[in-house]
Structure 1
Amino acid sequence: MELEIRKIVTICEETFIEGFKEAEKPVRIAAAMAVIKNPFAGKYVEDLQPLVNTYSEKLGDLLPKRAIEALGITGKEVEAFGKGALVGLDGEIEHGSAIIHTLTFGNPFRTICDNAETLLPSAEKRAAAGASLDLAIKHKRDAKTRSHHMTFETRIPDAPRNDEIVISAVVASSGRAHPRIGSLHKELEGVFPS
């Protein structure tokens, strides 16, 4: 199986005012999305390892680099991240999951983001071309840091075609503009005995 990428789309958003108040620093989020061929579209295939072997490591390296480049920062400056798979109508959600839910995808991504320690939050679904996918984002070192729990809506007008998958990597240079709900750490104090 050969790596087949039809296009890569990168989007970047900077939010300066949130909730009618200027942000202390702009909230900057970028996503890089690869539109790839799904060789298993339209049929059931038991062994999905060829998808993993062809796409996971390459996209786990390429896409976060593209997203970070769009923000004009380094991997060290990334504070939060996430991933996603949007599968065309003739594919299974499992096809996208096979690519992104592997260490061969996640480990390069975490390494690029200054040896991040948390699991990458994810979003997966099957839909027609032009559908949106809300990418989940969490802090790269501590999944309980609520200020970095966000979503980032992405969409490519002509993808995924029925026999394609859109694989996404998203990074953020900070958390939300005005976080006020506190850390999950504080809420969990006393809940579990030590």
Structure 2
Amino acid sequence: MPEPILRKSALVVEEIFHEGGPVAEKPLRRAAMLCVIKNPFAGRYVEDIAGFMEDLKPLGVDMAQKLVDALGGDAGIVEGYGKGAIVGTAGELEHGALWHVPGGYSMREILPASNAIVPSTKKIGGPGTRLDVPVTHCNASYVRSHFDAMEVGLADGPKADEILLALVMTTGPRIHARVGGLKASDIEGKDGLR
């Protein structure tokens, strides 16, 4: 399969101090790493595309490491994650699904305590399309305080023959989380759920 051809990347870091309530002792930090690559399957139907996932793995690991670095360099402070893809209009949704394995496993490789499945979303769109990347706790998907999302997108991508790949990491729960459920402090860490 062809090596990914990268056109551009972007790194976005948010710090959230409050959501209308009291200012948090420590702000929530959310970061997104975006890469726009050429879609090698754009404009045509190709039966065997799965091999491209292997080619995307090094890019995924690089993106995950850049996120950890942007959040301070300590993978131990990352508590939430998610991934997504926007496929340009000459592609198909299945091309975005190619990001499931390399995007998810790259973050699980970089984060020492990440047992939970990496939530994901994908869509078809053109330049300026926005995507809400879902986020859950990286060790236990049922930790309700960490159910979140980060909106991502770029003004000039993806073009019709491109794919925008996204990884998101967070350092904690939603600011002012107070709707109950499993607490991060009560994670058993056995099954990626609880």
Normalising by structure 2, what TM-score?
Answer: 0.89
CA distance in 2, matches of 1:134, 1:59: 21
| Pairs within 5 Å for 1:1-194 | 1-55=2-56, 57-98=57-98, 100-102=99-101, 104-183=102-181
Provide the identity percentage: 39
Moved over 6 A (4+): none
CA distance in 1, matches of 2:45, 2:177: 45
CA distance in 1, matches of 2:161, 2:59: 18
Shift of 1:113: 1.2
2:115 is aligned with what amino acid? E
Residues 7-57 of structure 1 show CA distances to partners (whole Å, capped at 9, x for unaligned) of 1110000011212421231010000011001010111111112321321x1
SS at match of 2:25: strand
2:108 is aligned with what amino acid? R
Q: How many residues align?
A: 183
SS at match of 2:115: coil
Shift of 1:184: 5.0
Q: Which residue of 1 aligns with 2:189?
A: none
1:2 is aligned with what amino acid? E
When structure 1 is superposed on structure 2, of 105-114 and 136-145 the one drifting more is 105-114
More helix by share: 1
* Root mean square deviation, CA, Å: 1.6
Unaligned runs of 5+ residues in structure 2 are 187-194
